[in-house]
Chain A
């Protein structure tokens, strides 16, 4: 099977879906069997944050990869990866609200504006909600591809907020090694887009909305 055929195989999406659920299943199993170390709450919160960042990177990697290796079929996976990012971000927020705050919404409401790193993380999540909410085909149609795309460029802002959130979390402890790795990956992925945009100023973005019904326009080089 050629790579393109693998990507277009009817089982490809279910397989990616199952892979995307693996971290969740692993953490769930660890929590159920009390196998997450001395501080399971902290482990869950941090792991869920890590996986949010990883899915953010994967989502943003789809378009550059698709263009560079000329594999338009990769676009099929972008929405799912983006929704997995939302899934893990929501669980990350849930873990914080539950384990750290005991669902004391009064306290959460006071905690969010008081601490810049939580405010930044929470803002990123709030911005992520409309993207997740408009991820299905009918929403794209209703909005129109252009507006939909403009809206979904919010993900660049979200990426910046997410890395700032991570940076601030680690800043007090001067522990920047991992932050630097994620920041470098995101910088490359966003930098590639910037370079593309500068090369061809007014050209429409390559992949309208990742729609199946629209022909995938391959950006010419």
Chain B
């Protein structure tokens, strides 16, 4: 009999449940302050300190306040990838096919004003100005593993809220089975769109239950600041248990449909990129193995690649979505 244990190293206590050492060590100061009757102002400072995200802000873009997420699995304790690596090694073909291209070219993207059309099989379709979309729910910080289909990975502190909050707000109709995400495709702001690498605009999609999963994040920021253009500003989705390309960037449309969306990479190479594209070490890409990955900035040149985890380590949270499905067929 297989006994599933929870201490296999990938299910961690919530970061928010761990008392930071400086708070712990400061307990005497707190007691003293309480005793001195100065609890009010002192506690305010202490509380503010606690609420601050652990992640150091790089100080490049506008700060974005957020509270630590309490969604199970939403905060990995792994070492966060450096901001430099996360913002200079990107796949965002609208700005060029080389990893360095988005950082070099994305400055031409104008993210204000911006709006997102929410349409299709919903009772309350609406065109959301970015500001309104932003305010729709409390911003949370979530530290997710990101696994690229190319065999590398990062750990990114994102800021946003569960996409389900928006979905609940617009009230899908009974026949809505899928959610389709569309990225901006403006050749004036996105030089890559002039090439025919992909069939623009970039379209991605999720099944409704995947989109409703609390880990699916409508994302506005990272590293305590708003999203850099090359990472999908001003708003994107992040689905941590799927290969990175499923997490569409710079969204202009979210559409609810009864049919499985025709997604960009699936259309380009259906034998290589499936609709589901769940991270799965047991299903190889036709041109390389998916059993292992290289963690950017951590695994040195000569380090052995680390093992890729089923559903990118989120099996406990999302495994039940795929119960009974043949994941080799539905790759």
Would A39 and B89 count as touching, CB distance under 8 A? yes
Q: How far is the CB of B281 from chain A (nearest CB, A)?
A: 13
B269 & A172 in contact (Cβ 8 Å cutoff): yes
Are B287 and A169 in contact, CB atoms less than 8 angstroms apart? yes
**Do residues A175 and B197 form an inter-chain contact, with CB atoms below 8 A?**
yes
CB atoms of A40 and B99 under 8 A apart: no
Residues of A in contact (CB 8 Å), total: 26
A115 neighbours in B (Cβ, 8 Å): 286-288
Q: Between A and B, how many residue pairs show CB distances below 8 Å?
A: 55
The 8 Å CB contact of B85, one of A31, A38, A117, is A38
> Chain A residues near B88 (CB, 8 Å)?
37-38
**What 0/1 pattern do residues 143 to 173 of A give for CB contact below 8 A with B?**
0000000000000000000000000110111
Task: Determine if B97 is an interface residue (Cβ-Cβ < 8 Å).
Answer: yes
**Shortest distance between the CB of B18 and any CB in chain A (Å):** 29
Quick check: A37 and B99 within 8 Å, CB to CB?
Answer: yes
Given contacts A38-B89, A41-B294, A115-B288, contact A31 B99 (CB under 8 A): no
**Min C-beta distance of B38 to chain A, whole Å:** 48
A191 at the interface (CB under 8 A from B): no
In contact, A172 and B272 (Cβ under 8 angstroms): yes
30 contacts between A and B (CB under 8 A): A31-B301, A37-B89, A37-B100, A38-B84, A38-B85, A38-B99, A38-B296, A38-B297, A39-B89, A39-B99, A39-B152, A40-B301, A41-B294, A41-B301, A44-B301, A98-B302, A102-B304, A111-B289, A115-B287, A168-B287, A169-B287, A171-B269, A172-B269, A172-B285, A172-B286, A172-B287, A174-B198, A174-B268, A174-B269, A177-B195
- Residues of A near any B CB (own CB < 8 A): 31, 37-42, 44, 98-100, 102, 107, 111, 114-115, 117-118, 168-169, 171-175, 177
For the complex of A and B, the 3 pairs showing the least CB-CB separation, nearest first, are A38-B89, A38-B85, A102-B304
